[in-house]
Structure 1
Amino acid sequence: MGLALPCSGEGKFERMSGTVDVAHELAVFLRARRERLAPEDVGLPLRRRTRRTPGLRREEVAELAGVSVDYVIRLEQGRGLRPSPDVLDALSTALRLSDDEHAYLFDLARHWSAGRRQSGTEAASLSPVVRALSPLPAMVIDHRFDIVAWNPEMAWLMLDFPELPEDQRNTLLLCVLHPAFADFYGDRERVIREGIADLRAAWAARPGDTALADLVERLRSSSEEFARLWERRDVHVNGQGTKALVHPRVGPLAIAYDVLTPLGDAGRRLIVYRAADAASEDKLNTVAREARGGTPALRAV
């Protein structure tokens, strides 16, 4: 049985018509990144008079990036400009963007930044690899966070995935909206915030993906928590990390996870969980025994 998750809704958010409004998002992203910086962050002297707005002034960004003030204004007003790679690099440096934010900026402007490549043909199924990773919990997700393969240990640890309708097998959708995950993470907001920052990078890289845009709109319309964190415009692709879980059967456990991307299929990720401490290792061993022993996973109700 699947959860009756909201599929749409009226609200305060303007619908994105199935694709990314690139000019608007580029404008808002640049403005948000300008406003988070103080003059001392970029080596500029503090001005004596009180600033009316937070962050750097447009004039200061223009000076740092070597472009005109009018150009910065037009970019932040979303007038449809498409900056060159050189200008994007200059803006990225001026705004002290991280590597992920730099890539996000290039994606919005429809340029491929150095070191990035487009996805090739779809790789062979990773299902056998996922099964071979037992007893470690493992699953494969795509760029939309849809769960496309898993082993019994991951299903037992998280949720009985086969019971869910296919359109609900999405890690971020479950984390944000499914009641079983309301208290599942010890630091829920951090987990969701990191997931959203990762999702935003995929969203910008695929502006024509209507299914991805629909997922973002569905989450924004259905969850004030998601909507608030989405507006932060954080961008970060997670390759590894830790999570504190509070499992209803085995109790608290600390998980370290790794995210692997197969060559030729950058749209898919293999996620592997392992114990972060000795106590959690014992509990993951319990998970493996229960999963292989046929004990039912948590019901998706």
Structure 2
Amino acid sequence: MRTRVCDRGEAGVREASSWEYRSYPPVGPERTNRTRELATFLRSRRERLDPRDFDLPRRRQSRRTPGLRREEVAELAGVSTDYVVRLEQARGLRPSADVVEALAGALRLAPNERAYLFDLAQQRPRTADSPAATASPSLAGLVAELSPMPAMLLNHRFDILAWNDDMAALLVDFGALPPAQRNLVWLCLLHPQVRAFYLDRESVVRDGIAHLRTAWAAHPEDRALNELIAEFRTRDADFARLWAEPDVTVNGRGRKVMRHPDVGEITLNFEALTPAHDPDQWLLIFRPATDGDRSALEKLKTPTPAARSGGRDETP
């Protein structure tokens, strides 16, 4: 089935596929929030693009705003300008998977941004299993065996599911914390010792927000995740400010400079690995950057390499 539509503001009539206009009514506040986030994300990705990077026809009108025009994105994606306008105005559309794919290509989204867009549009296939709330014995054992490298296992909310003693010695005694505080983003934002630990705290918070934003799009029904984000937005001004920026750039590896109260400044390289059987978990491993950093870690080392495990109490 083909439908002829007239794009407001464009000369003439053009054809558009009926799948372009497949939309679904909003359902409750959660759907409304996702629709608004979809609108904000699309607009921000459009505005960051440089028109000179695209083979677009020259237009006489001067550009008064950054990035591509809506009609240019529509042309690149093969949809109507009116449809792009309605998406960016959060007018209740739920684009089909084909449209999401076309928009992702037109906006030149990175793989993680593309996945985020599919999640916002509720078009990415889901696995039948719910995200894990506890560490499996095999992964907990792996965390222990990574000693003397500090390591921990996180779920999609950044709850700390398992850790080895090296990680506890480096950061904080996780076992002494209430389960609700055993969350890496919570610690970076609200724990006095950990807040002062990272020299570049904002980059750590940005990484955490990118992870949480991606998880929020993938698991909108997760009440614990929604409550966690609401708490962070209320209690930490930096989180509230950075959450308003629709960034989902996740750094899976890099270097962190830390200031430890016992050994002073220490530089560590980190890797965040995802188990193939559970993409909602992250294995975070730290390695010393230099021999001096290795010596500093050894000073913090505890006698046994046992892995501890714990999770967020999700009892209603």
TM-score by length of 2: 0.80
1:49 Cα shift?
A: 4.8
Superposed CA deviations along residues 104-125 of structure 1, whole A, max 9, x for unmatched, are 0001111127xxx637475733
Change in CA separation of 1:226 and 1:269 when aligned onto 2, cut-off 3 Å? same
Change in CA separation of 1:20 and 1:212 when aligned onto 2, cut-off 3 Å? farther
1:236 Cα shift?
A: 2.5
1:197 partnered with 2:206:
no
Distance between the aligned counterparts of 1:79 and 1:181, measured in 2?
42
SS in 2 for 1:21: helix
SS in 1 for 2:234: helix
1:92 partnered with 2:92:
no
Which range is displaced more, 52-61 or 144-153?
Answer: 52-61
Distance between the aligned counterparts of 1:48 and 1:69, measured in 2?
18
Per the alignment, residue 80 of structure 1 pairs with 92
Change in CA separation of 1:20 and 1:162 when aligned onto 2, cut-off 3 Å? farther
Conserved in 1, the CA contact under 8 Å of 2:172 and 2:194? no
TM-score by length of 1: 0.83
| Structure 1 unmatched ranges of 5 or more | 1-15, 295-301
1:182 Cα shift?
A: 2.9
1:151 partnered with 2:160:
no
Conserved in 2, the CA contact under 8 Å of 1:243 and 1:255? yes
Query: What percentage of residue pairs aligned between the two structures are identical?
Result: 52
Per the alignment, residue 189 of structure 2 pairs with 176
Conserved in 1, the CA contact under 8 Å of 2:165 and 2:304? no
Per the alignment, residue 11 of structure 1 pairs with none
Higher-Rg structure is 2
1:65 partnered with 2:77:
yes
Conserved in 2, the CA contact under 8 Å of 1:120 and 1:265? no
Which range is displaced more, 75-84 or 202-211?
Answer: 75-84
Distance between the aligned counterparts of 1:204 and 1:271, measured in 2?
22
Count how many residue pairs are aligned between Structure 1 and Structure 2.
274
Distance between the aligned counterparts of 1:148 and 1:139, measured in 2?
7
Per the alignment, residue 5 of structure 2 pairs with none
1:208 partnered with 2:217:
no
| Structure 2 unmatched ranges of 5 or more | 1-27, 306-316
Conserved in 2, the CA contact under 8 Å of 1:174 and 1:181? yes
Distance between the aligned counterparts of 2:189 and 2:58, measured in 1?
42
Distance between the aligned counterparts of 1:182 and 1:50, measured in 2?
47
Per the alignment, residue 118 of structure 1 pairs with 127
Q: Point out which structure has higher relative CO (alpha carbons under 8 A, 6+ apart).
A: 1
Distance between the aligned counterparts of 1:216 and 1:275, measured in 2?
32
SS in 2 for 1:292: coil
The one-letter code matched in structure 2 to 1:283 is A
1:82 Cα shift?
A: 1.7
1:20 Cα shift?
A: 7.5
Root-mean-square deviation (CA, aligned residues, Å) is 2.3
Distance between the aligned counterparts of 1:64 and 1:261, measured in 2?
34
